[in-house]
Structure 1
Amino acid sequence: MKINFRRPMLAAVITLSTASVYYGQQVQDSVKNSKEIEEVILKGVTDIAKDRKTPVAVSTVKATQISERLGNQELPEILNTTPSVYATQGGGGFGDSQISIRGFESRNIAVMVNGMPVNDMEGGTVYFSNWTGLQDVTSTMQVQRGLGSSKLAIASVGGTINFITRASDMKQGGVIRLGVGNNDYLKTSFAYNTGKSQSGWSSSFLMSRQAGSTWVENTDYESYAYFFALGYQPNKKHNIQFMITSAPQWHNQRNYSNTIANYIKYNPDNDGTPYREYNSDWGYRTLADGTRVAIADRANYYAKPVMMLNWDYKISEKSTLSTVAYMSNGRGGGTGNTGRVGGKGLTSFVDSEGHFDYDQVFAANQAVTDLSKGTLIRRASINSHNWYGILMNFQHKINDNWNFSIGTDDRYYYGYHYQVVSDLYGASGYRNTSNKNVAPYIVSNTYDYKKLSWNPFGGKTAPMEDRITYSNDGQVLWYSAFGQLEYSNEKISAFVQGSVSNQAYRRIDEFVKPGTIQQGQEVGRKTDYKNLFGYNVKGGVNYNINEQHNVFANLGFYSKQPFMNAVYPSNQQVLNPTLTNEKISSFELGYGFRSAKFNANVNVYRTEWKDRWLRRTMNFDLGEVDANGNSVTTPGYAEINGITQVHMGVEFEGTYKPTRFLELEGMFSMGDYKYKGNASGATFDEDNNPITVPGTESNSTTLYLDDVKVGGSGSSIPQLTASIGATIKPVQDLRIYGTWRFVSKVYSGLDIENFTAPGGSALQLPDFNLLNVGASYKLRLKNSKEYFTIGANVYNVLDTTYISDGRSNIKTTDAPSRLNDGTSNTQKLTYEQLGYVYKGIATGNQVYFGAPRTWSASISFHF
C-alpha cells in the first residue's frame, strides 16, 4: 500500500464524477507553481488530491493492487496494512466483512461511490455484500482517517472510504479474467472500453460472475456484477456521464458467534482444538430416497442497482457547476427462524455434529394439526428501499491563491421492513398474530432467497397478507448546504468549511392498530416527521517547511443527528423523550518526510464522541438447555443511551525503495479507546419483546462503562496494529510480494450482561500474526496492447489459528451455569478451575475464528 499522501481540501471524500477520474489522474503530476490552486480545488464534486497540500491523513489503493492482491478475500481486507484500520471477514459468509477505522465501525465511517453516499440513511450501516462488484470496477480506493475534510454532512467519525469507479472515457481496450481458489471459488469477468470518439461519445462495460463457498461450513454463494457507463462531451464546457452498476447475490451465512467450547466440541478430529470452519446455522434434511440435503437457517440476498447522472459545466475560466443526480432501488433481506413447535425453538433441534436436525423439525411441524399451537419456520426479513438524491456544487476561483465553493446535498429515502415466510419446514402454514388490525391469519406462501432480481426498477413488495411478525416503513428527508474557503501558495495550504443539515424521520407501522397505547401514549399507523438539525465546522492547515519536511493540523466539531432507531426506539411509534444530537470533536497533528528513497508520515489524534446511542445485536441465555446439554439462547438486541467515547492514538506509515528491484513498506498504529462515564440500556428479543436482564426485574438497567476499553458492536476493535511488506522485482514484469501483519490489544464487543454492576471490563482477545504472499507476472505479446497477467496469492501462509472477533466478555474467574456435559455447576467452579480455558480466555465466550490458510489464482488477457 502506498504511503499516507496528503490530499488537499476534500480528499476525505472522493465524491468523483466518472468524467473527472481521468482528468484528475492527468493533473496530479503537473502542478509546480502558485497556479496549482487550479488543480487543488474541487473538480466535479470531488477534490484532486495533492501530496503535501491537504492537512488530513490519506492512504490510496490503486486498481492494480486490488487486482493483484485481493483474490478471494473480502474487499475491505485490502486495507489491513493501513494504520488504524481493522477489517475481518466477520462470520465468514460471502460479503459479510466488517471494518473499523480508529476504533469506529462502518456505520460511523462514510462510504461513498462516485459522489453518492451509500451508508444506510436509517441506521448508517454498510453491507459490503451489496457492493461486491466494486472490486471489478474500482480504479482508485482512498481511505481518510478522522473527521476528514469533506464538505458534506456525512458520518465520517472514524474516517471515509472512497471508491472511484471506471470512467467511460478510459482508453479503448478490454480484459477477460478467470479466477480460481479454495472451496470451489470460481470467478469470470469481461470488460471493454470503447474510448472516446471524435464526436465526444464514450462507454465502458463490465460483467462478472462469482460462485463457490467460503472456508466456513455451508456458506455457498452466487454473485453477479454489472457495470455500464456512457459519456458525452460535446465541447470543453460540458461533460455528461451516466452510470449504472449492481451486484445481485445470495449467500449462506454464519450469523451468530459460537462459543469456543462448541468449536472444540464439534471438531471432527476430536483432538481438543477448535474447528475454525464450524457453523451452527445450518443442518441436514433426509429426503425419501435417502439423500441428505443441506438447509441454511441464515442467509442473505440482495440487489442494489445504483444509477448516476453527472453533469460538469464549465461556466467560465474561473467558475464551474457540477451536478450529480442518483437513485438506488435496493431489494432483498436476510433469513432466520421464528416460531416454536411443541414449545421448542430451532436451537432445541441439534444433532450430535452441532447442526440443526431438520428431520426432527419437519416431523414436528407435520404433526401439527392445529396451527394456533405454533409452527417453526424460516422467515425472511426484508430490508428494501427507494433512494433518490442530488448533489450540486458551485466553485469559483477568486485569484491564484483563493477560491471558494458552495453547494447542496439533498436526499429522499423510503425503507421497507417486514418479514415473510421463506420455508415452512414441512408445516401446512404459519399463524400470524402480530398484525393488530386484523384477526390472526394463516400464511402459506413462501419466498425463495436464491431468486435474484435483475430489474433495476422492479422488485415488488410482498402483499400484506403474506407479511408476518412486523411490517414497518421508514421515511427520511435530508436537506443540507455546505461551503468551503481555501487558500494555497507554495508553502501553505489551508481550508475552513462548514455544513448544516436537516434530517426528518417518519415511522409507518402497518401492524399497529390506531389508538394503541405505547409507553402511555396513543399512537397511530404513521408518525409525524421529526426534524433534527445538525451541523459541522472543520478546518486545517499544511505548512511545507522545505522540499523534505511538512507539518499539518486539523480540527473539527460535528453535531450529528442520531439514527432512526434512536428517534423511535424499541421499534415503537413513540418519540424518544431523551433525544439529542451526538457531539463529536476531533483534532489531529501530522508530520511528513519526503526523499528520493524514503517517505514517511506520523499522525497523532484525539476524538471525543458524546451522547452516542447504540443498538447492539446479541444472543441472550434463556436459562434452558437443549438435547445435548447446551444452553438455549435467543437472538435479540440491546439499546444503549448516553455513551461517551474517547479515542486517542498515534500512527506511522512509510515506504523505502533502496533499489529499483525492491520496495519496502510498513505501518504502526497504537490507540487508547475508552468509554467515559456510564450509560443506560434496555434489551429485547428479535420480535421486540423485552428480555429481563439477569439480576434485575426489568429489561432496563444502568451500564457501568466508565474507563472500559471500547469493543465493537459487530466486530472487535484492536488498539495496536503493525505490518511490514516487501515487493521484489527480480526481472521485468515479475512481482513477488509478502506482508506480515501483527494485531494486538483486541477487545471483544460489548456484552450488556457483564456491565450491569460496577467492576466489569472488556475482554482482551489473544494477539496474532499473519503472513500473506503472492506473485504476478505479465506475459507480453507481439502486439504491445495485448498481454496476459498471471497471479497467485496465499493468505495466512502459516495456517495460524486466531480469533478475529469476539461478542462477549466472560472472564476465566467467572463461573459457568452448566458444565460441558450439560449438568448444573452446583459448586460454582470457575472456568479456570474447570480447565475451560483457551489461549488465556474462557471457552464460554462467543467468537469468530479467522480464516485458515486459503489461496487464489487468476489469469487475465488484456487487449
Structure 2
Amino acid sequence: MKLINKSILTVAITLSTASVYYAQQVQDTVAKSKDIDEVILRGVTDIAKDRKTPVAVSTIKAAQILERQGNQELVELLNTTPSVYATKGGGGFGDSQITMRGFESRNIAVMVNGMPVNDMEGGTVYFSNWTGLSDVTSTLQVQRGLGSSKLAIASVGGTMNFITRSADMKRGGVVRLGVGNNDYLKTSFAYNTGKSNDGWSSSILMSRQSGGTYIENTDYEAYAYYFALGWEPNKKHNFQFTLTSAPQWHDQRTFAPTIQNYINYNPDRDGSPYRQYNSDYGYYTDASGNKVALANRSNYYSKPVMMLNWDWTMNEKSKLSTVLYMSNGRGGGTGDLGKVGGKSITDASFVDTSGHFNYDAIFAANQAVNLNTAGAGSTLIRRSSVNSHNWYGILANFQHKINDNWNFSIGTDDRYYYGYHYQLVSDLYGAAGYKDSNNKNVAPNIVSNSYDYKKLAWNPFGGKTAPLQDQVGFSNDGEVIWYSGFAQVEYTKNDLSAFLQGSVSNQGYQRIDNFILDGSQLKGQTVNTKTGFKNLFGYNIKGGANYNINEQNNVFANIGYYSKQPFLNTVYPNNQQLINQSLTNEKIFSAEIGYGFRSAKFSANVNLYRTQWKDRWLRKTNQTFTLPDNTTTTGYAEINGITEIHQGIEFDGTYKPTSFLEFNGMLSWGDYYYKGNATGTAFDDNNNPLTLSGTSNTSELFIDKVKVGGTSNNSIPQMTASLGATIKPVKDLSIYGTWRYVGKLYSSIDIATFSNQSAQDRGVLQLPDFNLFDVGASYKIRLKNESQYFTVGVNIYNLLDTTYISDAATNVFGNDTPTKLADGVTNNTAKKTYEELGMMYKGIATGNRTYFGFGRTWAATLSFNF
C-alpha cells in the first residue's frame, strides 16, 4: 500500500481552550493594510483572506480540533464543510478517506504550512501517518476548487492546508490524557521554552496512542515525537529547524465484505448486519491450546522529516522565504501471497463459521508442502509490500511590493524522490518457506526469513531496502525529478482585489525493475532494468477577483485551467517497463462565482462552481472479478479516456442571536457525472491480463452520463447538509451538538459492470441516505494562577447508534441474479433475482460489498495547562 508523504510539522502543541470555532467559519476580516504581509499569498503558506481572496474557504481552529476530535479521524472534522465527505474507510486507525466536490484525496492538494505533501508517484494521502498533526495544528484551512496556492500542484478538488505555529510561541506546556471506546488511550506532553533575549526558542512534543477501533481486530500503536529550534537574530532574519515523525502500526480491514456476510456472521443471528465484522483476520491455536487472533491485513509506517525554514525580510518592500527539507519514509502494508493446494486464503475450506480465517487449516496445508518439488507460489503466506522512499526538496518564494496597489511574487518548487517497492515474507503461516520465480536474478528462490511489521522503524536513515534474496513477488523503484517555477501578480485598491498567477513544471519519471535482466523481452520489445526518464511538461494559469460592495456584502469569481501530468503508474501501466503509448496530460477547466454576507449576528456564503476534467487515467485496486467460468479472482483495473463534469452549489452560515448561543449550518448540492465512454483493462494481482468476456481483457466502458462514484472501496455523495448549535450557559462551559445528513451517495464504478451497455441505463448504485447526530461538552477549571487550568471534555459520536452504509465498492442491483447464495445454498438453479429471493437491505441487494459506518462511540479528555 502506498503511504502518505507528509511534511515536517513546524510547531508546538497548541494550548487547549474552551472556545468553539466552526468548520464554516472564514478568516477574520483583514484590515486594509498596505503591508506586504497582507497580500493574498504570504511566504510559502498560502492563506486565504476573508472578503479579499476570491476562493471558497472554510477554516477550523485548534480549539475545535482539540475539543471535538477525540478518537475520530482528523479529517472527519471537515464533515460540516460544504461538499466535503470524510469517512473512516475500512475502519482501521488512520485509514480515513476524504472527497471534496467529488474529487478524492489524490486530487486534493494536502499541504503543511503551504508545502505539498501528496505522494509524488501517485498523489495518495494516508492519514495514519499524521498521528501528531492534530496536536500541533493551529489552523486547518480548506479551500474548495482551484484554491489560492501558487505552486504547480493539481488542486482539482481543492486544498487542505495544515497551518502550524513556530517554535517561538509563548512559554508553557500541557499534559493531556484521552480515553474512549475499544481501549482507546492517548497520552501526550508538550513544552515551549518561549523566546529568549537572544532570539532562541524551542518546543518539544511526545505522545503515544493505542487501542482498537469499532471494527473487529483493528488494534494499533502509534507514537509522535517533535522537536523545533528557532532563532531570530534580528528583525530581518528568522530561522526554524524541526524534526518530527509519527511511527505507527495498525491492523486493518481493507476488503469490503458483502452485506449478506455482515448479516450471516452476526453473532446475534437476528438478521441485522454486524457492523464490526472484519473478514481480514482469523485465529490459530497456540502451544497452550488458546485461540489467538492473527491479522492478514496490516499497515506500518514511520516518516521522519527534517526541515529548515529561513525568512529574510530584505527591506520594507521585499521578502524571501526559503524551505529546505528531507523525508525518509519507511514502511508498508501486509496481505496474502500464493496458494496452497490451489486454494487462496478466501477459499471456503479456510474460512470458519464466524467468517474468519481458519489458520489451523492453513498452517496444516502449508506444512504438508515439499518446497523442493513444489512449484513457485505453492504455499500461502502473509507478505509485506514495502513502500519506502527518500524525498528532498527546496521551496523558495520572493515577494515584492511595487506600490500601494501592486504586489508580485516569483518562486520555485524543486524536488527529488526515490521510492522503494518490494515484497517480503511477513508470516509463513506454518510453511517452511515461500518459493518465488519472479526474481530473475535469484531464481528459483526459496525465502524463509520473515519480517515483523510491529517493529517500528525509529531510525530516519536506515532500513532502506532488504536483501534482494529476501524479496518476493516484485521489486521495483520509482524515481521522480520535479522542478517548477511560479509567479503571481496582485492588485488591491479600495474594495477591489484581484490576482493572476501561473506555473510551469517538469516531472521526470523513471521505473527501475530489480527482478528483470537488461535485454529482457516484453511484448516483443527489449526492456532493461532502468527505463530511463520520461519527462512530462505541465502548466496551469488561474485568476480571480473579489469586490466588497459594502461592509456587509461581497462577490467574487475565479477561473483557471490545468494541464496536469499523469502519475507514474499511468506512464508505465500494468506495473511493467513499457511506456504508455497513449500518454497525454489531463486537462482541467474550472470556474466559480461566490457571494458573501457579514453582519454582527449573521454571516453566510453562497458558491456556484463547475469543473471539467478530461483525459483522466485511473487505476482501481482491490477489485474482485468474476471470470467467464463463474470463478472469482482479485486484481486491479486500468481505465483511460475518462471525462468528468463536477458542478454544484454550496451554502454555509453562522448565526449568533446572543452571546451564549450560536448556530452554524451548511448545505451542498452537486451534479457529478461522466461525459462520454472510456476504455478499461483488467489484470490479476500478478499483472496477468484477465478476460472477463469475449476474447480480450480490454473493453469499452459505457459510462456516459453515469454518476461519478469512488475509485476503490469508497463512495461519493452529491448532497450533504449539517446544522449545529453551541450553548454556553455559564462561563467556561460549552455544550454542543451537530446533525449531519448525507444523500445522493453513489458507489464506485467497476470495470466488469460497465463493460455492458445495459449498465449505462441503470447507472451507478445509489446507497441509502442517512442522518447522524453528535454531541459533546467542554469545561475549563481555572486555578489561581491564570496560566494554569484543567480542561475536561467528552464527545459522543453517532448518538442514536444509527446503522448506515458509508462506502461501497460494487454495483449489484435487485434485479440481478446471484450465482452464490447464503446459508449453505451454493447455487441458484431457478435463476431468481435478489429481489425475488428477498436478499435486499434498505432497498439494495445484499450481494454488494460495503463498509458500514461506526455505531455509537465516545471519547473523553483531561488536560492540564501550565
Per the normalisation by structure 2, the TM-score is 0.95
Q: Is the 8 A contact 1:14 1:115 kept in 2?
A: no
1:371-417 CA distance string (max 9 Å, x none) = 52411100000011000010011110001110100000000000000
Aligned equivalents of 2:179, 2:501: Cα separation in 1: 47
For residue 31 of structure 1, report the CA deviation from its aligned partner: 5.2
**Which residue does the alignment assign to 1:703?**
701
Partner of 1:355: 356
> Is the Cα contact below 8 Å between 1:599 and 1:656 reproduced in 2?
yes
Partner of 1:682: 681
CA drift at 1:14: 13
Partner of 2:499: 495
| 1:315 equivalent in structure 2 | 314
Aligned equivalent of 1:3: none
Aligned position for 1:9:
none
1:792 is matched with which residue? 794
Displacement, 1:516?
Answer: 2.0
- Identify if the C-alpha distance between structure 1 residues 419 and 272 changes in structure 2 by more than 3 Å, giving closer, same or farther: same
Corresponding residue of 1:270: 269
Aligned residue in 1 for 2:102: 103
Counterpart-to-counterpart distance in 2, 1:640 and 1:658: 52
Contact 1:18–1:114 (CA under 8 A) maintained in structure 2: no
Contact 1:283 1:296 in 2 (8 A): yes
Q: 1:767 and 1:549, CA in 2 relative to 1: closer, same or farther beyond 3 A?
A: same
Amino acid corresponding to residue 707 of structure 1 in structure 2: K
Q: Shift in Å at residue 674 of structure 1? A: 0.1
Alpha-carbon shift at residue 623 of structure 1 (Å):
5.9
Identity rate of aligned residues, in percent?
71
Within a 5 Å distance, the mapping from 1:245-260 to structure 2 comes to 245-260=244-259
Whole-angstrom CA distance in 1 between matches of 2:604 and 2:114 = 29
**CA contact 2:109–2:153 (8 Å) conserved in 1:** yes
Deviates more, 1:338-347 or 1:597-606: 338-347
More divergent stretch after superposition (507-516 vs 195-204): 507-516
- Tell me by how many angstroms 1:35 deviates: 2.1
Q: CA deviation at 1:697?
A: 1.9
By how many angstroms is 1:621 displaced? 4.0
Aligned residue type for 1:132: T
2:857 aligned to which of 854, 857, 863 = 854
* Residues 612-658 of structure 1: per-residue CA shift (max 9 Å, x gap): 00000133245699xxxxx9743311000000000000000000000
Residue 593 of structure 1 pairs with residue 597 of structure 2:
yes
What code does the residue aligned with 1:637 have? Y
Contact kept in structure 2, 1:347 and 1:632, CA below 8 Å: no
CA distance in 2, matches of 1:585, 1:746: 25
- 1:47 to 1:158, Cα distance in 2 relative to 1, 3 A: closer
Q: Is 1:824 aligned to residue 827 of structure 2?
A: yes
SS at match of 2:80: coil
1:606-625 → structure 2 map (5 Å cutoff): 606-621=610-625
Amino acid at match of 2:843: G
Structure 2 SS opposite 1:123: coil
The separation in 1 between residues aligned to 2:245 and 2:404, in whole angstroms, is 42
3-state SS, counterpart of residue 46 of structure 1: coil
- Structure 1: 5+ residue stretches without partners: 1-12, 23-27, 626-630
CA distance in 2: counterparts of 1:616 and 1:449, whole angstroms: 26
What's 1:482 paired with? 486
Aligned 8 A contact 1:14 1:164 in 2: no
CA contact (8 A) 2:627 2:691 kept: no
Label 1:341 to 1:34 Cα distance change in 2 as closer, same or farther (>3 A): closer
Residue 505 (str. 1) matches residue 509 (str. 2): yes
One-letter code aligned to 1:727? T
Aligned partner letter, 2:430:
G
Q: Work out whether residues 17 and 324 of structure 1, in 8 Å CA contact, stay in contact via their aligned partners in 2.
A: no
Does residue 1:766 correspond to 2:768, yes or no? yes
C-alpha distance in 1, partners of 2:535/2:57? 34
CA contact (8 A) 1:720 1:743 kept: yes
Residue 809 of structure 1 corresponds to 811
Q: Are 2:144 and 2:158, in contact at CA under 8 Å, matched by a contact in 1?
A: yes
Give CA-to-partner distance per residue, 1:132-151, whole Å, 9 cap, x none.
21011111111010011211
Aligned to 2:367: 366
CA distance in 2, matches of 1:313, 1:623: 63
- 1:590 partner letter: G
Instruction: Give the Cα separation in 1 of the matches to 2:649 and 2:219.
Output: 40
Q: CA deviation at 1:46?
A: 2.1
TM-superposition CA deviations, 1:230-273 (whole Å, max 9, x none): 10000011000011121100000000100000000000000000
Quote how far apart the aligned CAs of 1:29 are.
6.7
Match of 2:778 in 1: 776
Partner secondary structure for residue 758 of structure 2: coil
Structure 1 residues 189-208: aligned runs within 5 Å? 189-208=188-207
- For residues 68-83 of structure 1, what are the structure 2 equivalents within 5 Å? 68-83=67-82
Aligned 8 A contact 1:115 1:324 in 2:
no
Which among 464, 469, 475 is matched to residue 473 of structure 2?
469
Q: Which residue of 2 aligns with 1:652?
A: 651
Inter-CA distance 119–130: structure 2 relative to 1 (3 Å threshold): same
Residues 292-441 of structure 1: pairs in structure 2 closer than 5 A: 292-348=291-347, 349-371=350-372, 372-373=374-375, 374-441=378-445
CA drift of 1:37 comes to 5.7
- Find the aligned partners of 2:115 and 2:553 in 1 and give their Cα distance: 35
- Partner SS for 2:577: coil
- Counterpart residue type for residue 848 of structure 1: Y
Matching of residue 642 in structure 1 with residue 646 in structure 2: no
User: The residue matched to 1:566 in structure 2 has which SS?
Assistant: helix
Q: Matched residues in 2 for 1:260 and 1:797: separation?
A: 23
Report how far residue 155 of structure 1 moved: 2.2
Deviating more after overlay: 660-669 vs 31-40? 31-40
CA RMSD in angstroms comes to 1.8
Alpha carbons of structure 1 residues 72 and 17: separation in structure 2 relative to 1, 3 Å: closer
**Runs ≥4 residues deviating over 3 A:** 13-19, 28-34, 621-625, 631-634
CA distance in 2, matches of 1:259, 1:659: 49
| Contact 2:41–2:149 (Cα < 8 Å) also in 1 | no
What is the SS of the residue equivalent to 2:346?
A: helix
Q: Structure 1 residues 644, 31: closer, same or farther in 2, change over 3 A?
A: closer
- Contact 1:39-1:48 at 8 Å conserved across structures: no
Superposition deviation, residue 570 in structure 1: 0.2
Q: Equivalents in 1 of 2:825, 2:505: separation in Å?
A: 55
Return the alpha-carbon distance in structure 2 between the equivalents of residues 756 and 614 of structure 1. Answer: 16
Q: Which residue matches 1:25?
A: none
The DSSP-based 3-state class of the residue aligned with 2:836 is helix
Counterpart for residue 122 of structure 1: 121
1:95 aligned partner, one-letter code: G
Give the CA deviation at 1:750: 1.2
Shift of the alpha carbon at 1:50?
2.4
Q: What amino acid is the match of 1:444?
A: S
Q: Kindly state the Cα deviation for residue 18 of structure 1 after the two structures are TM-superposed.
A: 6.1
Counterpart for residue 23 of structure 2: none
Partners of 1:329 and 1:481 in 2: CA distance: 25
Pair 1:807–1:509, CA change in 2 (3 A): same
Whole-Å Cα distance in 2 between the matches of residues 228 and 38 of structure 1?
Answer: 27
Q: Using a 3 Å threshold, how does the CA distance of structure 1 residues 679 and 30 change in structure 2: closer, same or farther? A: closer
Q: 2:544 aligns with which of 536, 540, 561?
A: 540
SS at match of 2:351: coil
Deviation at 1:454, TM superposition (A): 1.1
CA distance, structure 1, for counterparts of residue 146 and residue 31 of structure 2: 29
Per-residue Cα deviation, 1:709-741 (whole angstroms, up to 9, x for no partner): 000113200000000000100000000000000
Range moving further from structure 2, 519-528 or 671-680: 519-528
Deviation at 1:48, TM superposition (A): 4.5
- 1:843 aligns with 846
Alignment-mate amino acid for residue 86 of structure 1 = Y
Post-superposition shift, 1:115? 3.1
Q: Out of 180-189 and 616-625, give the one that drifted further.
A: 616-625
Q: Deviations over 1:751-792 (max 9, x none)?
A: 111100213210000000000000000000010000000000
Q: 1:323 to 1:292 in 2, by over 3 A?
A: same
- Residue 300 to residue 33, structure 1, CA distance change in 2 (3 Å): closer
Cα separation, 2, equivalents of 1:619 and 1:392: 42
Relative to the length of structure 1, the TM-score reads: 0.95
Q: Tell me the CA shift for residue 851 of structure 1.
A: 0.4
Residue identity matched to 1:91: G
Choose which of 528, 538, 542 in structure 1 pairs with 2:532.
528
